[in-house]
Chains A and B, each alone.
Chain A
Amino acid sequence: MSQVSETTVDRAIDTSHMKVSKTDVAIDVVNMHKWYGDFHVLRDINLKVMKGERIVIAGPSGSGKSTLIRCINRLEEHQEGQIIVNGTELTADLKRIDEVRREVGMVFQHFNLFPHLTILQNLTLAPIWVRGIPKAEAEATAMHYLERVKIPEQANKYPGQLSGGQQQRVAIARSLCMQPRIMLFDEPTSALDPEMVKEVLEVMINLAEDGMTMICVTHEMGFARQVANRVIFMDQGQIIEQNEPEAFFSNPQHERTKLFLSQILH
């Protein structure tokens, strides 16, 4: 559990925009199962995410956290149950997959920037070729988001010339350029040095302040406390417990959760 950290951002967080819709469902996962061959990775997952929610998924390695969010934009296929994203149910239908992926941005643990393209080209590639946005306009949008993640001066460099934290911020900006309604974060800070974790978390908090619907698989419990409105604990492919962060950390219900929290929170 060495990667678990308690990094916090030392400032007041503006919650005025962080409104959770009561009626708009962003993601609805119903009785979902997934197998890798014989291995039952996800068992009977039920998860309803409302528009504007910030959800943190925690749990030990191999508990299926990443697999779950990778199912939500169909990087993995589920075998049973339903996943409905913004009212579109994910099936093998390519058109629906395209539709969902256009609305859902994803940030990976290892950034996955395109190393042969400059930062600006990384950011404009999908807007130009997927959304058909004119190049000049796509570049203007890209610069806007680069400013938001505070690295506009790196626009013409290549990913290999940037630090890990900068690369992850570019990756977030790249997703934002597609104007997604939902953002998925798959351990965005796990591959970073401690001091770079903060700069990435800062960007994620900014996003939350703007009211973005977010699901984060992360070991950053400080982030969970400060930003999340719900923490979900998973183990062995199941959702064991979910609660508001305060209650989750101070008063865990399930034995497995207590054990996990005692291990990571000393």
Chain B
Amino acid sequence: MTTLDTGQKLAPRASFFNDPVIRGIIYQVVVAVLLIAFISWIIGNTAANLAAQNKTTGFDFLWKTAGFDISFSLLPWSRASYYWEAFLVGITNTLLVAIIGIVLATMLGFTIGIARLSSNFIVSSLATVYIEVIRNVPLLLQLFFWYFAVLKAMPAVRESITLPFDAFINQRGIMVPRPTPDQEFTWVMVAIVVCLVAAIAIGVWATRIRTRTGRYPASIVLAGKFGDACVTLLVGFTALAILLNAVYPVANGTVIAAIVAAAIAAASVTRFAPIARGVMTFAVAFVILNFMIGGMLSWLSPVVTSAGAALIALVMASVVYTNATERPPSDARFPLALLILIVVAIPALIYWVTGATLAFEVPVLERFNFRGGVQLPPEFVALVFGLTIYTAAFIAETVRAGIQSVNRGQTEAAQSLGLKDGDRLRLVIVPQAMRVIIPPLTSQYLNLTKNSSLGAAIGYPELVNVFAGTSLNQTGRAIECIFMVMLVYLTLSLLTSAIMNWYNGRVKLVER
């Protein structure tokens, strides 16, 4: 060590060009000079070219009349509108598709991603096939498929296909009823919002008390039982009434249904709760299955399909019964039914009390087209479909990677401590998986937003189509238009990633 030290003292300082600090400074200066030279060359060149072509620059064109049609707009639009209005229409149309796409793609993506991890062979293979097919076909091709092969191939207006809930589909898009709430309905909307906030607040408060004292507050437990009974009563009555009236008509079907439902509801708060759950499951499953099987296998005699439905419902009921006896509902359970009841029942009550009506303006087929309702143009539907289905495949892989990144040992440790499956997922697995999922999920959201510009190819009037397309062609202000469009995408992207970075920073692991 000593020899080394003296050696270093004797050696001359590194020569001027070999000194890493000086080298660093030289590199920086060279790069800066080159960059400035390049930018000034571009600006000078562009200015000279524009001058040679006698073109003017500036943003004054924004206050001129656009004079073209936009097929789909959320904002008021006419040919007399200005270019800045066209810009806003483009932004809102882009945002509309992006937001709807992000919400739907997230839901579909999480479902498919979890399905791919399923131990059920058919479910996981279906998810795999979906992912491999969708993410290996170019998005533009998929948009063309949805637009030309599916939506444009729909029948003409006169032969419109009728969908459930008074909706129709034809060449011109999908017609859906337009909700026309009256004055009183405002109160119902207010009630929904208030109840939602209240339910969340109650949930948070109950969980806090639960953590602090070890049990849910007595009032919540009592209200939770009441909520359980109410839900049981309502659902049980509906199912039984349908069952009795439709399948086995008797004179006082409704009355009998009410009595039986009341009995189950009463049982659901006592130690006979498993039986109540079993009966409930049977009634609900039977009604749904009977409807489904009877509809699909209509060539079979109704006796046979009903018997089949009853058999399956019985199996389901027995499974629910066994589960309920193995893990009986306890006071330690989160009062979910109560919260749902608050959100659903109170607005429903107000709807009934205030006599509010939520009428729907149903689209009606006239001589040449539909009148009334809302028309979703095929371009919009195709773009939402394409973006959702395409991005969902990538989100699914992200979700799968996130869940698989959590070490199997975490599950085992949680199990060995006795945590139940729900608690294990909520407290141990999901928080860790989300850390891995969030950054690539952000990229997928950004991709979807930017990919929405492909809507220009199928004629959806989003930002690129309206502003970097039509407006640019008409005004010739290429630099200004492209600059503004780029600025919009940049702002959207930076906003999204700022939000996601903030979240990511919060869930980051502390190490060292």
* Interface residues of A, Cβ cutoff 8 Å to B: 73, 75, 93-95, 98, 101-102, 104-106, 108, 110, 112-116, 125-126, 128-137, 157-158, 160-161, 171, 174-175, 178
Contact = CB atoms under 8 A, between A and B. Distances in A.
Contacts of B213: 134
Contact of A126 (B215, B418, B509): B418
B423 A129 contact: yes
Given A133-B214, A160-B510, A108 B427 contact: no
A101 B510 CA distance: 30
B418 A98 contact: yes
Contact of A160 (B327, B414, B417, B509): B509
Contacts of B420: 98, 130
A37 to B, nearest CB: 15
Nearest to A115: B509
B507 interface: yes
A101 B412 CA distance: 11
B412 A112 contact: yes
Contacts of B412: 75, 106, 108, 112
B13 interface: no
B431 interface: yes
Interface in B386-421: 407, 409-410, 412-420
Contacts of A93: 326
B415 A75 contact: yes
Contacts of A75: 412, 415-416
Contacts of A128: 211, 214
Contacts, number: 95
Nearest to B208: A135
Contacts of A106: 412-413, 416
10 nearest CB pairs, A to B: A160-B511, A112-B413, A126-B417, A112-B409, A106-B416, A158-B510, A134-B214, A101-B418, A132-B214, A130-B418
B381 to A, nearest CB: 41
A36 to B, nearest CB: 15
B332 interface: yes
A137 B510 CA distance: 26
Interface in B116-167: none
Contact of A178 (B211, B212, B417, B427): B417
Interface centre among B213, B327, B417, B428 (most CB of A within 10 A): B417
A161 B427 CA distance: 21
B407 to A, nearest CB: 7
Contacts of B409: 108, 110, 112
Nearest to B332: A132
Contact of B415 (A101, A115, A134, A157): A101
A125 B413 CA distance: 12
Contact of A161 (B326, B407, B416, B512): B512
Contacts of B410: 112, 114
Contacts of A102: 418
A89 to B, nearest CB: 15
Contacts of A101: 415-418
A135 B418 contact: no
A178 B415 CA distance: 13
B94 interface: no
B435 interface: yes
15 contacts: A95-B326, A102-B418, A112-B409, A112-B413, A114-B413, A114-B428, A115-B432, A125-B427, A125-B428, A134-B213, A134-B214, A137-B214, A161-B512, A171-B413, A175-B417
Of the candidates B213, B418, B509, B511, the one having the most CB atoms from chain A within 10 angstroms of its own CB is B418
A102 B418 CA distance: 6
A175 B435 CA distance: 26
Contact of B212 (A95, A108, A136, A161): A136
A125 to B, nearest CB: 6
A112 B407 contact: yes
B405 to A, nearest CB: 12
Given A108-B413, A134-B212, A125 B419 contact: yes
A136 B210 CA distance: 12
Nearest to A158: B510
Nearest to A138: B214
Contacts of B419: 125-126, 129-130
A225 B211 CA distance: 44
Contact of A73 (B212, B214, B416, B428): B416
B430 to A, nearest CB: 10
A209 to B, nearest CB: 23
Contacts of B417: 101, 105, 125-126, 130, 174-175, 178
A108 B415 CA distance: 12
A116 B430 CA distance: 11
B418 A132 contact: no
Residue with the greatest number of chain B CB neighbours at <10 A, chosen from A73, A113, A116, A161: A116
Interface in B312-337: 326-327, 332
Nearest to A103: B418
A207 to B, nearest CB: 16
A73 B414 CA distance: 12
Given A94-B327, A133-B214, A158 B435 contact: no
Nearest to B417: A126
Contacts of A105: 416-417
A129 B416 contact: no
Contacts of B212: 134-136
Contacts of A130: 417-420, 423
Most A CB within 10 A of own CB, among B414, B435, B512: B414
Interface centre among A102, A132, A136 (most CB of B within 10 A): A132
Nearest to A108: B409
A174 to B, nearest CB: 7
A116 B428 CA distance: 8
A158 B416 contact: no
B146 to A, nearest CB: 41
B215 A132 contact: yes
A104 B415 CA distance: 11
A108 B509 CA distance: 21
A186 to B, nearest CB: 10
A174 B417 CA distance: 9
Contacts of A158: 509-511
Nearest to A137: B214
Contacts of B416: 73, 75, 101, 104-106, 175
Contacts of B432: 114-116
Nearest to A105: B416
A163 to B, nearest CB: 11
Given A114-B414, A135-B212, A136-B212, 6 more contacts: A73-B415, A112-B412, A114-B410, A114-B413, A137-B214, A175-B417
B90 to A, nearest CB: 42
B69 to A, nearest CB: 54
A105 B423 CA distance: 18
Nearest to B410: A112
